[in-house]
Structures are given as C-alpha cells and as structure tokens.
Chain A
C-alpha cells in the first residue's frame, strides 16, 4: 500500500519533470534556431559582401582598364621582337 503510493508519487514527479524538460528543450530549440538564423544571415551578408568585392575586383581588373592605364598612364608597351631575348634553361 505504502509502496504503491510511493510509486505513484514518483511517477507523478517524473511526469512533471519530463513535462518541464520538454518545455525546456523546446525553448532551447527555439533559441538555438534563432541563433542559427542570425548566423545564417551573417553568413549570407558576408557572402554578399564577398560577391560585391569580387565584382569590384573584376571591374578594376578589367583588361581594357588595365591596358589603358598601362599604355596611357604608365607609358608601358608590349616589347617588340627585337627587345626580347629568348633564354633556355
């Protein structure tokens, strides 16, 4: 009789604890999910920034632009055949 009552109390307590644990886990899950979302957004933003920088670099490194700066501003030229010495190892 007493043993039975003790079992019931124990079970009730266990059920309570399990219920609270479920609530806690759920709460944790949501918090982690929010954190995940935040990090993903951060990752996306960084990716976007990376894409923009790549575009910028591609624009600056555009052959036409490089060529114009090289020949116009820096006075560079492709060497003529007479200016090139062929060396073999």
Chain B
C-alpha cells in the first residue's frame, strides 16, 4: 500500500501508467428479489405456519433488531453493544474488551431467562444507568423468542 516518495520524473511515469488501470468490475453474484419498475405482488410465505411454531427461527428474526448494536458470532469484536455470544450464565458486564456502564458492571447480575426477561422488557427501568437506551423488546412473545435464540447461541445452554 505504501508508495515511497520519489523524484518527479519517476512520479510522472507511474502517474501515466496508472491511468485507465481500473477495469470495469464484474458482479460475482447477483440475487434479484425485485427488478426496478416491477410491480410488487403479494408473496405467500410458505414457511409462515412453521415459523410461527419455531421459537428459535422467530427469535433469530426478532434478533435482527438487536444487530444494530450487538453481534453474536463467537469471537467477533463488540460493536456499539457487547458481543452476546455465550450470554446465558454470564455475569453481567464481563464480556471482554467492552466499556460497560457503571450500572451494568456493578450490577452483580447473572444473565438467565429471568434476568434477561426483566432487562429486555425495560432496560432502563430494570437497571437504571444502563447505556442500552434503545432496543427494549416489549412484546412478550418476541422477548421469549429472542431469549430462546440467545440461549441457542450460548454453549452449554442448549445448542
């Protein structure tokens, strides 16, 4: 990546050869859900019924709301919120390399179904001082599904 500082003469040579060096780039893969101008027709979701009964799938879908701030892949660096891999059974405020709020770091909580349920329903009410100002999961069924999904992403907690 590093270009040394060089004499003007050499610079010009490189300058000129650099022109037109970028070729049109090809698309490796393209998934077209809808073409521009295409009329949207009602799509009947085949998996709808099954999905409703599949708590994990529902949870994974509902978790999308959380991905604005959280990652859950093992070892992935925390983003705005801490990495949630292995959250079940973890003492609150202990994910590595994440600057927790004082409230969370000193809460003494251990995350399980009950504490997550209370926290996710109303983070600021449950743990005043938390930095998690958005992302409450108020809907009971969604919350149950998200917790099931979090549990599935925790080793020793029902993978």
Q: Do A and B bind each other?
A: no
Interfacial residues, chain A to chain B (CB-CB below 8 A): none
Residues of chain B touching chain A, judged by Cβ–Cβ distance below 8 Å, are none
